[in-house]
Amino acid sequence: MFWTLPAPTSTNEPAASASHTPTPPTPDPATCTEESAARLLLNLGGDLRRPRGPPLNMELLWAGDVSQLPANQQIHALNLSPSAGSMSGTSAIASASASSLTIPRPELRAYAPETERDEDEQPMICMICEDKATGLHYGIITCEGCKGFFKRTVQNRRVYTCVADGGCEITKAQRNRCQYCRFKKCIEQGMVLQAVREDRMPGGRNSGAVYNMYKYKYKKHKKTNAKAATTTSRASPPEKPKDPLPPIPPHLVNGTILKTALTNPSEVVHLRARLESAVSSSRDRAVPLERALHMIRALIDCDAMEDIATVRHLPDLLHDTSEIGDKLCRIGDSIVHKMVAWTKKLPFIMEIPMEIHSKLLMEKWHEISVLTTAAYQAMHGKLAHAPPSSDHEHDFMQEVNANLRTLQNCLTSLMGRPITLEQLRLDVGLVVEKMTQITCVFRRIQLQVELEGIQDRYVQVLRSYLEHAAPHHPGRLQELFARIPEVTKAHSKIGRVKAFLPLQSKKGTVRKKLHTQIPTTLRPILSGDPSSGEPVAGEQNVLRAVRAQLRRDQIVHGPAGRIVLDVRDQRPATAPRRRLMIARDRRPRSRPNPPPGTGRAADRDYV
DNA sequence: ATAGCCTTGAAG
DNA sequence: CTTCAAGGCTAT
Ligand SMILES: [Zn+2]
Ligand SMILES: [Zn+2]
């Protein structure tokens, strides 16, 4: 065998079950004695009912509900409090049910890798359907079919249901009869969701953070003899060649954290630190260029800058007879809708808990608006490719005035009555000025497709990309990041006018018709009575719009007051991303005589 | 939609 | 260089 079964590092083993259950809580195949194996067999014979774990709610799963996953895939696997095994209330319940998923089914014994003697062709068996396995896939040993099934399910966030009671048997012959039970078994057996790559980059190896969740791990290389393995290496920490810290002591590797906590509490802190560093160290690693390009491409694939920064059917809206407030609210709603849709397409969105997702949207949509509009204007606006002039100040004022006039035209149409430039300048002059300034800055630094990273890894991606794209411009990254505070300040400086919605007409008919563009407009100044001097209620409107949008997106309240997002129907909106691969010429069924092997391997019958 | 065969590419 | 687990392609 080529895989090792790492000692469980789960901390979620409820102490209660350990003391109340007469049989061993988690039969660990790596340390299974013959006695316990025999007991398992006895249990198997005595219990005729098929074990049927807790139901799997796939909608919640895709919404980020990790409590349904085995413990080693949950974040709070590291959330051990050093003080005697106390867990926070909600996670205790969640992990109590999850831990039942980690109990391997009896047939799992067949795959226990401890069989030292026969290193060769014992035909591998799929842990899902018992078909012939082809290797490690997403963390466990599976056949090609179950591998593909798991990949397709995760990539497309598919939701299955079982017409029976969720206990269908999965075999090679029956595996296609119930997708729900097949996928549930995949989860129960420990297939790792995160091993399905969001950027679809083929080849290579998964990050250490993902690899650490694998139930089975491949051996480094079976170069050394079986005997050499017993003398030196073994029990090595999970494949961290550059790990600056000493290896985790074997007694920590081979035991659970829980056990450590009970017997040697002071060690837990160290072990936890080690595990955390093992996870986070993958974050600090430089991102290879290929991967960086893929991640950037994945971001570009879901780019919605133009969509968010422009408004469709503007003429219809302008000539609509409904009330001005309604019109602006509709525009605002559509922007919020597009922004929410965009965030849900982001490759890393599944890693962000729903509550945080909502909070970010609520708190940051202004800045996203500013950034989006300014960047779009700088890249695609009228002056995007204008030659740089000598008089920056003059240009700037010109642009501010142009934007104000544009805004005036638009609002006049929207309201059906004129508004003076002076009044406009009084109300939104500062906003327009700020927006214009940011646009100018972006234009000056020739913002193109570089995107600011929300997460550290995207900063790394950016750095890696810039190192190759602009090797002679080492300050580029700083230059880009230096703009962020301006974006942040743009709306906060405005004071009462916090919630403004940048709009812009699409190019083409709209622009011709209006003879101008619409860079910005303000909902608050018109949603209330601007002359009344009362503070505008824009913020309230925005929150309403966000909430309405979330309702439309079928946000539901899950257990424990958790906000959950139903992402069904999200995928079809985005065309599935595909990479082109050069495929070998596929000839009819039977394989004709292969040409002389000039390929890299003898079993390849192509050039 | 499934699954067998293929290409990729980081790690060994 | 080789391995092998990712994703892609395509006949069924
Ligand atoms: Zn299978
Ligand atoms: Zn079923």
Q: 3-class SS at A239?
A: coil
User: How large is the average pLDDT for residues A255-264?
Assistant: 44
Any idea which nucleotide's C1' is nearest the CA of A200?
A: C7
Give yes or no for a contact between A503 and A371, defined as CB atoms under 8 angstroms apart.
no
Any idea which nucleotide's C1' is nearest the CA of A591?
A: B5
What per-residue confidence (pLDDT) applies to A488? 67
**How far, in Å, CA of A306 to CA of A85, rounded?**
51
A458-506, pLDDT tens digit by residue?
Answer: 777 777 777 777 778 878 887 877 777 777 666 554 332 322 222 222 2
Polymer length in residues for chain A: 607
Is domain A61-72+123-197 classified as CATH 3.40.640.10?
Answer: no
Phi and psi torsions of A213, nearest 5°: -85, -10
Share of chain A above pLDDT 90, in %: 14
What per-residue confidence (pLDDT) applies to A97? 36
Q: Which residue has the higher pLDDT, A101 or A405?
A: A405
**How far, in Å, CA of A158 to CA of A167, rounded?**
19
Give yes or no for a contact between A7 and A254, defined as CB atoms under 8 angstroms apart.
yes
A:194-223 Cβ neighbours of strand C under 7 Å: 195-197, 200-206, 214, 218, 221-222
Beta bridge partners of A501: A521
Give yes or no for a contact between A195 and A206, defined as CB atoms under 8 angstroms apart.
yes
Q: Which residue has the higher pLDDT, A181 or A341?
A: A181
Q: A247 pLDDT exceeds 80?
A: no
Name the DSSP letter for residue A82.
S
Q: Which residue has the higher pLDDT, A555 or A295?
A: A295
What per-residue confidence (pLDDT) applies to A607? 26
Show Cβ contacts of residue A170 under 8 Å, excluding neighbours closer than 6 positions.
A128, A129, A178, A181, A182, A185
Q: Which residue has the tokens 């593909």?
A: A148
Show Cβ contacts of residue A70 under 8 Å, excluding neighbours closer than 6 positions.
A98, A101, A102, A187, A188, A190
A:136-155 Cβ neighbours of strand C under 7 Å: 136-139, 148, 151, 155
Which protein residue's Cα is closest to nucleotide C3 at C1'?
A221
Any idea which nucleotide's C1' is nearest the CA of A581?
A: C8
- Is the confidence metric ipTM above 0.90 for this complex? yes
**How far, in Å, CA of A308 to CA of A312, rounded?**
10
A312-365, pLDDT tens digit by residue?
Answer: 887 787 777 777 777 877 888 888 888 988 888 887 776 677 777 888 888 888
**How far, in Å, CA of A243 to CA of A231, rounded?**
22
CA angle A97, A360, A156 (to 5 degrees): 55
What per-residue confidence (pLDDT) applies to A91? 34
Q: A395 is written with which tokens?
A: 């240009």
How does the average pLDDT of chain A come out, rounded? Answer: 62
pTM: 0.43
- Sign (positive or negative) of CA dihedral A379, A362, A74, A165: negative
**Residue A17 belongs to what H/E stretch?**
helix A15-20
Phi and psi torsions of A60, nearest 5°: -65, -35
Q: A279 is written with which tokens?
A: 């996870």
CA-closest candidate to residue A5, choices A34, A35, A26: A26
Provide the CATH topology of domain A289-517: Retinoid X Receptor (1.10.565)
Which protein residue's Cα is closest to nucleotide C1 at C1'?
A600
Q: For A244 and C11, how far is CA from C1' in angstroms?
A: 50
Question: Which ligand has the shortest distance to the CA of A147?
Answer: 1
Q: Which residue has the tokens 């619409």?
A: A518
Give yes or no for a contact between A248 and A274, defined as CB atoms under 8 angstroms apart.
yes
User: How large is the average pLDDT for residues A579-595?
Assistant: 50
Give yes or no for a contact between A172 and A186, defined as CB atoms under 8 angstroms apart.
no
Residue spans per domain, chain A: 61-72+123-197, 289-517
Where residue A139 falls among pLDDT bands split at 50, 70, 90? very high
Name the DSSP letter for residue A37.
H
User: How large is the average pLDDT for residues A272-284?
Assistant: 46
What per-residue confidence (pLDDT) applies to A445? 62
What per-residue confidence (pLDDT) applies to A604? 29
User: Which range among A164-178, A398-412, A486-500 shows the weakest confidence by mean pLDDT?
Assistant: A486-500
Q: DSSP secondary structure string, A219-282?
A: -S-TTS-HHHHHHS--S--TT-TT--SPPPPHHHHSS-HHHHHHH-HHHHHHHHHHHHHHHHHH
Which protein residue's Cα is closest to nucleotide B8 at C1'?
A203
Give, to the nearest 10 degrees, the angle between helix A289-301 and helix A456-469. Answer: 110
Question: Which ligand has the shortest distance to the CA of A142?
Answer: 1
Q: For A588 and C3, how far is CA from C1' in angstroms?
A: 30
Q: Which residue has the tokens 């867990």?
A: A87
User: How large is the average pLDDT for residues A218-237?
Assistant: 37
A531-582, pLDDT tens digit by residue?
Answer: 333 233 343 444 454 444 444 433 222 222 222 222 222 333 333 444 566 6
A23-81, pLDDT tens digit by residue?
Answer: 333 334 433 444 444 444 334 333 444 567 899 999 889 877 888 998 888 753 333 22
Which protein residue's Cα is closest to nucleotide B11 at C1'?
A205
**How far, in Å, CA of A207 to CA of A191, rounded?**
16
Q: Which residue has the tokens 């602009």?
A: A470
Any idea which nucleotide's C1' is nearest the CA of A239?
A: B11
3-state secondary structure A165-230: CCCCCCCCCCCCCCHHHHHHHHHHCCCCHHHCCCCCCCCCCCCHHHHCCCCCEECCCCCCCHHHHH
Q: A478 is written with which tokens?
A: 């700083």
What per-residue confidence (pLDDT) applies to A171? 97
CA-closest candidate to residue A427, choices A506, A330, A538, A540: A538
Q: A358 is written with which tokens?
A: 């909502």
Write out which nucleotides of chain B lie closer than 7 A to a protein Cβ.
1-12
Where residue A161 falls among pLDDT bands split at 50, 70, 90? very high
Q: A288 is written with which tokens?
A: 């290879």
- Sign (positive or negative) of CA dihedral A357, A360, A366, A371: negative
Give yes or no for a contact between A308 and A274, defined as CB atoms under 8 angstroms apart.
no
Q: A511 pLDDT exceeds 50?
A: no
What per-residue confidence (pLDDT) applies to A357? 80
Phi-psi region of A190 (alpha: psi -120 to 50; beta: other; left: phi over 0): left
Which protein residue's Cα is closest to nucleotide C9 at C1'?
A583
Any idea which nucleotide's C1' is nearest the CA of A582?
A: B7
Q: Is the CB of A581 under 7 A from strand C?
A: yes
Q: Which residue has the tokens 């309702």?
A: A551
Cα-to-centroid distance, A182 and ligand 1 (Å): 9
> A289-517: same fold as A61-72+123-197?
no
Show Cβ contacts of residue A292 under 8 Å, excluding neighbours closer than 6 positions.
A460, A461, A462, A464, A465
A78-111, pLDDT tens digit by residue?
Answer: 332 233 233 333 333 333 333 333 333 333 333 4
Give yes or no for a contact between A440 and A399, defined as CB atoms under 8 angstroms apart.
yes
